[in-house]
Amino acid sequence: MSDETVQALGKVSEALETVDRARGHLYSFHQLIGHADLQLDEAVQLLRAGGHTELADRLRHDMVGRNVVHGRWTFQLVEEFDDDYWSRFRAHEKSLRDELASGRRHLLEAEMKEARRTHGEPGHEARPGEGD
């Protein structure tokens, strides 16, 4: 396999890893917004308990359960991202690996490991369970 092909597969893998990190941030966003919405419930209750019924009603009416983007809560953003962009990206990455590298992953990293490890030294084995 050419160096360019290995590098291209490495870049696609790296890009997918970046998308996976972004997906994690999207899930964090989803959880944080959900938590904030529950905190607003508490604030509304405290405003009511403090005699500020009109303010509590205004906050409850406008903000509690509000869509974060037009027509969507964060779970819907997560689902759409997963079903469209993320799943499609993963399918392309797997297809490229299957067609160009017999499904093997991280070829670039494997080459780097082989070039950088110290043969024969403990902790530098090529694979688990190997003496060298």
pLDDT above 80 for 130: no
Domain contains 121: no
Residue recorded with tokens 């997918």: 16
pLDDT above 80 for 39: yes
Helices (H), 50-86: 53-63, 74-80
Confidence at 126, pLDDT banded by 50, 70, 90? confident
pLDDT above 70 for 132: no
φ, ψ (nearest 5 deg) of residue 13: -60, -45
Domain contains 83: yes
Confidence at 127, pLDDT banded by 50, 70, 90? confident
Domain contains 89: yes
Our count of domains for the chain comes to 1
Residue 8 CA, chain-centre distance (Å), reads: 22
**H or E stretch including 114?**
helix 107-116
Q: What percent of the chain has pLDDT over 70?
A: 98
Q: How far is CA 5 from CA 17, 98, 109, 111, 131, in A?
A: 18, 13, 13, 13, 31
Domain contains 123: no
* 118 DSSP assignment: -
Q: What percent of the chain has pLDDT over 90?
A: 83
Domain contains 124: no
Domain contains 132: no
pLDDT above 70 for 131: no
Domain holding 88, by residue range, is 3-116
Confidence at 18, pLDDT banded by 50, 70, 90? very high
pTM, full prediction: 0.81
pLDDT above 70 for 81: yes
Domain contains 62: yes
* The two three-digit tokens of residue 21, written as one number: 């990190």
Mean pLDDT of 93-112: 92
